[in-house]
């Protein structure tokens, strides 16, 4: 029997029971659509986190006090307070480091007239805007002289400015109060949005010289962290190693002892922040693939029913000269058609669901091409795997016994 005739008979058999064929496809449609939608949601979230982290600065390296495994007790970044101005000065001497800024954080109430707003205040140095690729919208940033003199000057984040002065207002040269101190507003930063973790609004903070925070607002002597920018994006790992070596020398850490600081690059932060989204994406995709297996079992069940219903037809075809391989191939074609057509429809449904979620829920989605290929390939494998047993059963029927079947 010709290949064309085998395909023709297989499609006719499926067309005779349109409703049953459609219901059998439904399992594959739901499974493939679930895989596409879940991977799209997870990949979109991961890409968003990566973009947010990469937007925080240029070749950014972050140094925090404390180590995850320092000493007998486990701590975390920020659990130790051994970062000082001398550490930042030492990093400035490294040839692979372009810029450095000290960072001292506090939280204060900002007051202008009858308006007030509590926000985080970042004490930084003059290189902070360049390191974080963050431009000034109104006015300007403070100068090295402001840092040396611990001047009471402040640059507002866009959200802070909106709440104190109103949207679209340039508050440059305005006087505000921070606690019992009078500060002059030098400018407003451009909007930057959520941080790399997606939990904090970077626009809801203000910047002052770090020396001002240490001497007039918080009184602390240690730095909360140090931000540095590597000269080259091609040697971030080498620059990170140089930073760690320099700080170990500064802190007199003997070989074999754990660091009392943590150094993170943007790549480290991406890996750390996306680990959860990757785990959830894998879990959801696994659940969706289970539904594909369930759909395959449905295909096998229907094909077994079809073999039983068409026993006399199979016996007649075998009696007039059809080979067992022709019957086997016909039933395999029917199973593959159900799974592949169901998979194709499922891909379309998955794209539609992803688009609806992105439009109506404002959740970013991204569908990797390999996810589509995997879904199609898996649906084909499911059709062949679960269709083989019914097809072999049909091909193995005895023609005489099949013709006697009632």
Q: Tell me the pairing of strands 97-112 and 115-124.
A: antiparallel
For residue 158, the cross-strand partners are none
Q: Kindly state the average pLDDT of the residues 183-194.
A: 90
Give me the residue spans of the domains in the chain.
3-51+274-404, 83-250
Please provide the average confidence, as pLDDT, over all residues in the chain: 81
pLDDT at 77: 45
Task: Please say if the pLDDT value at position 162 is more than 80.
Answer: yes
pLDDT digits 0-9 by tens, 93-110: 999 999 999 999 999 999
Instruction: With 0.75 as the threshold, say if the pTM is over it.
Output: no
Nearest Cα to 130, choosing from 201, 207, 238?
207
Burial label for 252, CB within 10 Å (0-12, 13-18, 19+), is: exposed
pLDDT at 265: 81
Distances (CA, A) of 333 to 5, 32, 139, 338, 381: 12, 20, 71, 9, 12
d(CA 228, CA 247): 13
d(CA 201, CA 130): 19
3-state SS string over 338-398? Answer: HHHHHHHHHHHHHHHHHHHHHHHCCCCCCCCHHHHHHHHHHHHHHHHHHHHHHHHHHHCCC
Q: Tell me the pairing of strands 97-112 and 175-178.
A: antiparallel
For residue 114, the cross-strand partners are none
């Amino acid at each position: 029997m010709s290949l064309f005739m085998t395909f023709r008979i297989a499609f006719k058999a499926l067309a005779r029971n349109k409703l049953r064929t459609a219901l059998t496809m439904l399992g594959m449609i739901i499974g493939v659509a679930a895989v596409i939608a879940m991977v799209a949601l997870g990949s979109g979230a991961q890409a968003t986190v990566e973009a947010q982290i990469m937007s925080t600065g240029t070749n950014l390296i972050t140094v925090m006090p404390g180590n995850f495994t320092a000493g007998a007790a486990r701590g975390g970044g920020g659990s130790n307070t051994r970062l000082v101005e001398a550490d930042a000065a030492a990093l400035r001497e490294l040839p692979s480091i372009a810029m450095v800024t000290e960072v001292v954080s506090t939280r204060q109430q900002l007051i202008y007239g009858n308006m007030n707003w509590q926000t985080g205040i970042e004490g930084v140095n003059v290189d902070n805007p360049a390191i974080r690729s963050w431009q000034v919208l109104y006015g300007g940033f403070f100068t090295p002289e402001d840092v040396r003199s611990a001047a009471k000057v402040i640059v507002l984040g866009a959200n802070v400015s909106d709440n104190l002065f109103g949207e679209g207002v340039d508050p440059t040269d305005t006087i505000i109060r921070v606690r019992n101190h009078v500060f002059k507003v030098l400018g407003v930063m451009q909007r930057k949005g959520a941080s790399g973790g997606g939990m904090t609004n970077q626009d809801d903070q203000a910047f002052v010289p770090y020396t001002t925070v240490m001497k007039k607002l918080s009184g602390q002597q240690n730095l909360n962290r140090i931000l540095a920018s590597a000269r080259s994006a091609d040697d971030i790992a080498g620059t990170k190693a140089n930073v760690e070596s320099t700080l170990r020398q500064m802190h007199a850490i003997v070989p074999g002892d754990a660091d009392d600081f943590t150094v993170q690059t943007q790549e480290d932060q991406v890996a750390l922040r996306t680990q959860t989204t990757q785990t959830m994406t894998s879990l959801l995709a696994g659940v969706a693939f289970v539904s594909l297996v369930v759909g395959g079992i449905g295909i096998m069940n229907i094909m077994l029913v079809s073999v039983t219903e068409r026993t006399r037809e199979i016996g007649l075809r075998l009696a007039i000269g059809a080979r067992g391989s022709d019957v086997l191939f016909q039933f395999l074609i029917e199973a593959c058609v159900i799974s592949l057509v169901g998979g194709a429809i499922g891909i379309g449904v998955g794209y539609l669901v992803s688009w609806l979620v992105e439009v109506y829920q404002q959740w970013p989605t991204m569908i990797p091409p390999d996810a589509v290929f995997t879904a199609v390939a898996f649906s084909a494998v499911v059709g062949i795997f679960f269709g083989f047993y019914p097809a072999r059963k049909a091909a193995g029927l005895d023609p005489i016994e099949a013709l006697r079947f009632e």
